[in-house]
Chain A
Amino acid sequence: MSAVRPRARRSASILRPGSGLLILPPAVWVLAVLVAPIVLIGLYSVNLKTNLLGVPTAFSTANWKDFLPPGSNPFWDRFKISMTITVAVSVITVVAAYPLAYFLAFVAGKRRYALLMVLLAPFFTSYLLRVIAWQVILNNHGVFNSLLWDLGLRPHGDGIPWLIYSKFSVGLVLFYSWVPFVAVPMFVVLDTMDRSLIEAAHDLGASRLTAFLRVTFPLSIPGVIAGFVFVLIPTTGEFITPLLVGGPSSFMFGNSIQSFFTDTPNWNYGAVLALWLVAVVLVMLLVFGRYLSTDLEDAAT
């Protein structure tokens, strides 16, 4: 019974006159900027609204039928390629960012926040400029190929063909863009970790590697998952990077959506692709959010 009482008290406090009003502003905000646009996109996807001149607005699932079932049209190929790039970038970014976060938390000492700022400094400039800078580095007559020519490692004028306008260049620029942001949640978890647990492991005879594998790493998993989700969710809808450094075969699913809303405006078909992506992101949030919330609850207790 004693375990039930706090729940009852919480219920009572919610029912206190006026307290429910506090939830109104965020609820209105979420409805206005998240739910309403998705509903609107849903109306476009079934042709109850349209941007197309001369096309009558009447309920139709024609665009859904064209898009589904899986494998029936090229957008599925694009979706698979996008998800492959997204997952690969997320995994590689987490793997690369972990040592960085570890260094900041355990080695950098008092300088760690200053070093974190240095790490984040390039990100105070425009994302677009940074991607264009990569164009300068990677293109056929760019910095990297010129260096290879000057060193005599490749014949002059013969650039590495896959260095730009390829899946590699898209992955590389996405990796560069996300490493610092992925390092931050991992750094926070590592930095706030109870060091006495690591000391206890050492006292019990664990080597540094064993202590890392059995204590430090398991305790840092919430940060790792948070970092992974930080990359995974936004890159799922990415379109700027593939547009600037991707080739015709490395465009991502987000490029098809963007194109349907701008270059070849057919919002009705674009809405179908957009809703599909929303559904995929929601599934991701449900899967990973479960782990994150569990760990947060654990952390709270």
Chain B
Amino acid sequence: MTILEWDGYQAAGTKAQTTKGIVFGKDYTDEFGANGLAYSLITNDSQAIGKVRTGSKFDVLHPCAENFKDYVDGGFVQPWDTSLLPSFANLNPALVKGGQFNGQQYAIPWDWGYGSVIYRTDMVDPADATGWELFWNPKYKGRISMWNGATTNFEIAALKLGFPEMDNLSSDQLDQATQSLIEQKPLNKFLWVSEYTNLQPALTNGDIWIAYSWQDQWVYGREHKPPIPFNFMQPTQGRLGWYCGFMLGKDTANYYHAHKYVESYINHQACLSLTNNFYYGSADATVKLSEISDPLLAKSLSIGDPNVLSDTSKVHLQSWEPNEIAVQTAWEKVTAA
């Protein structure tokens, strides 16, 4: 079975999954073994949909909500049979609804979280760390690393520039955001590509003080011995929010295996291990704060309440972009400038 997946999310029991305590995917590998699973890793959302558009076939895919519509409209996926997923009933209705198209369940929501600025509190003046504009602060030139994440950087620029619809920029707004990112670019040490081999070592050893990240890096810093003084910013403009889910390849020859595989990710214990290891939220509405190893941390991130994703005073949910091609081309111009 071929799976389009983000690095770190490989099933427990596969050689690629080395994080202790992970149990998502374990039920599947216990029953069928790990040898039949082949992963193709996602670098960013644009690259993931690009792989599929250019002919790569997958049995199971794990894209994020902003591209669900692209996979459905492109005819790359088929609806799930939710009756084959016993844990489906436990999933948060709001997230479940986000995976429905034409009255059918095309995406099984699983993980959600935030994107924000992570910074070293021992290096960055707290007075400077108020919002997304920290990426543009020349005081930290050479200590910043944004993600080579194409469209995400335009969302960040749009929030910094105060545009109301970060995923639906007008032509003029796109030009302004492009110019703003071109001005920001020289402040980066590098644009990180891999969270674990690029970003994490540079943040840990102090090469980089300020970066775009998800909350798992903050948790990594807290659990590191000795702890690394990170803060995961709540920018004045709000964090980015995201949720992702599993989709079923249109021409899969592993229809029932795919359902078994996804059930092994959405069952209660699997969802709990997602939260306890990465402090991402899961779609499982039955996870209680008392079950999470650090309830205070979970509470501070509003884990257990995915409705926070629709609270626009705190979070801006990354959503489908009608002018995605123009934004991607603009990003290439930023990197080329």
Answer whether A263 and B142 are a contact pair too, CB < 8 Å, given A51-B53, A77-B336: no
Residues of A within 8 A of B335 (CB): 248, 251, 255-256, 259
**Interface stretch among A198-206, A220-228, A264-272?**
A264-272
What distance in Å separates the Cβ of B202 from its nearest Cβ neighbour in chain A?
8
A20 within 8 A of B: no
B329 within 8 A of A: yes
B21 within 8 A of A: no
How many A residues touch the partner, as a band?
20 to 34
**Interface stretch among B89-97, B127-135, B188-196, B286-294?**
B188-196
Please tell me if the beta carbons of A53 and B53 are within 8 angstroms of each other in the complex: yes
Answer whether A264 and B47 are a contact pair too, CB < 8 Å, given A52-B53, A140-B205: yes
Residues of A within 8 A of B43 (CB): 262-263
Please tell me if the beta carbons of B190 and A165 are within 8 angstroms of each other in the complex: yes
Which residue, of A53, A140, A141, has the highest number of chain B Cβ atoms within 10 A?
A: A53
A260 vs B331: C-alpha distance when bound (angstroms): 10
- Interface SS of chain A: helix, strand, loop or mixed? loop
A25 within 8 A of B: no
What distance in Å separates the Cβ of A203 from its nearest Cβ neighbour in chain B?
59
A140 vs B142: C-alpha distance when bound (angstroms): 11
Residues of A within 8 A of B182 (CB): 74
A265 vs B335: C-alpha distance when bound (angstroms): 15
What distance in Å separates the Cβ of A251 from its nearest Cβ neighbour in chain B?
6
Restricting to A223-277, which residues have a CB under 8 Å from any CB of B? 243, 246-249, 251, 255-256, 259-260, 262-267, 269
Restricting to A170-213, which residues have a CB under 8 Å from any CB of B? none
A142 vs B49: C-alpha distance when bound (angstroms): 36
A256 vs B44: C-alpha distance when bound (angstroms): 16
Please tell me if the beta carbons of B332 and A264 are within 8 angstroms of each other in the complex: yes
Please tell me if the beta carbons of B325 and A78 are within 8 angstroms of each other in the complex: no
B70 within 8 A of A: yes
Residues of A within 8 A of B336 (CB): 73-75, 77-78, 251, 256
What distance in Å separates the Cβ of B337 from its nearest Cβ neighbour in chain A?
4
Q: What string of 1s and 0s marks CB contacts (under 8 Å) between A54-81 and chain B?
A: 1100000000000000000111011000
A157 within 8 A of B: yes
A219 vs B332: C-alpha distance when bound (angstroms): 46
User: Which of B44, B185, B188 makes the CB contact (< 8 A) with A263?
Assistant: B44
Please tell me if the beta carbons of A248 and B186 are within 8 angstroms of each other in the complex: yes
B207 within 8 A of A: yes
Please tell me if the beta carbons of A262 and B207 are within 8 angstroms of each other in the complex: no
Please tell me if the beta carbons of B53 and A74 are within 8 angstroms of each other in the complex: no
Please tell me if the beta carbons of A266 and B325 are within 8 angstroms of each other in the complex: yes
Residues of B within 8 A of A249 (CB): 185-186
Residues of A within 8 A of B328 (CB): 264-266
A161 within 8 A of B: yes
Answer whether A269 and B189 are a contact pair too, CB < 8 Å, given A51-B53, A141-B207, A264-B50: no
A139 within 8 A of B: yes
B73 within 8 A of A: yes
Residues of B within 8 A of A52 (CB): 53, 325
Residues of B within 8 A of A159 (CB): 207
Residues of A within 8 A of B258 (CB): none
User: Which of A54, A157, A161, A260 makes the CB contact (< 8 A) with B142?
Assistant: A161
B35 within 8 A of A: no
Please tell me if the beta carbons of B53 and A265 are within 8 angstroms of each other in the complex: yes
Please tell me if the beta carbons of A265 and B46 are within 8 angstroms of each other in the complex: yes
Q: How many residues of B contact A (CB 8 A)?
A: 36
Instruction: Output the nearest chain A residue to B193 by Cβ-Cβ distance.
Output: A243
Please tell me if the beta carbons of B207 and A263 are within 8 angstroms of each other in the complex: no
A42 vs B209: C-alpha distance when bound (angstroms): 44
Residues of B within 8 A of A266 (CB): 325, 328-329, 332
A74 vs B331: C-alpha distance when bound (angstroms): 11
Answer whether A263 and B50 are a contact pair too, CB < 8 Å, given A52-B325, A74-B336, A251-B335: yes
Instruction: Output the nearest chain A residue to B146 by Cβ-Cβ distance.
Output: A248
A159 vs B189: C-alpha distance when bound (angstroms): 13
User: Which of A157, A248, A262, A269 makes the CB contact (< 8 A) with B185?
Assistant: A248
Residues of B within 8 A of A267 (CB): 54
Residues of A within 8 A of B164 (CB): none
Q: What string of 1s and 0s marks CB contacts (under 8 Å) between B161-205 and chain A?
A: 000000000000000000000100110111101000000000001
B150 within 8 A of A: yes
Residues of B within 8 A of A246 (CB): 190
Please tell me if the beta carbons of B50 and A53 are within 8 angstroms of each other in the complex: no
Please tell me if the beta carbons of A165 and B189 are within 8 angstroms of each other in the complex: yes
User: Which of A54, A248, A262 makes the CB contact (< 8 A) with B47?
Assistant: A262
B333 within 8 A of A: yes
Instruction: Output the nearest chain A residue to B74 by Cβ-Cβ distance.
Output: A53
Residues of B within 8 A of A247 (CB): 188-190
Please tell me if the beta carbons of A51 and B54 are within 8 angstroms of each other in the complex: yes
What distance in Å separates the Cβ of A301 from its nearest Cβ neighbour in chain B?
48
Residues of B within 8 A of A51 (CB): 50, 53-54
Please tell me if the beta carbons of A248 and B53 are within 8 angstroms of each other in the complex: no
Which A residues fall within an 8 A CB radius of B? Answer: 51-55, 73-75, 77-78, 139-141, 157, 159, 161, 165, 243, 246-249, 251, 255-256, 259-260, 262-267, 269
Q: Which are the 6 A-B pairs with shortest beta-carbon distances?
A: A265-B50, A264-B328, A74-B337, A78-B336, A74-B336, A140-B207
30 contacts between A and B (CB under 8 A): A51-B50, A52-B53, A52-B325, A53-B70, A53-B73, A74-B333, A75-B332, A75-B333, A77-B336, A77-B337, A140-B205, A141-B206, A249-B186, A251-B335, A251-B336, A255-B335, A256-B336, A259-B332, A262-B47, A263-B43, A263-B44, A263-B50, A264-B328, A264-B332, A265-B49, A265-B53, A266-B329, A266-B332, A269-B329, A269-B332
> Known pairs A52-B325, A256-B336. 11 more at Cβ < 8 A?
A52-B53, A73-B336, A157-B206, A159-B207, A246-B190, A249-B185, A263-B47, A263-B50, A263-B150, A264-B332, A265-B46
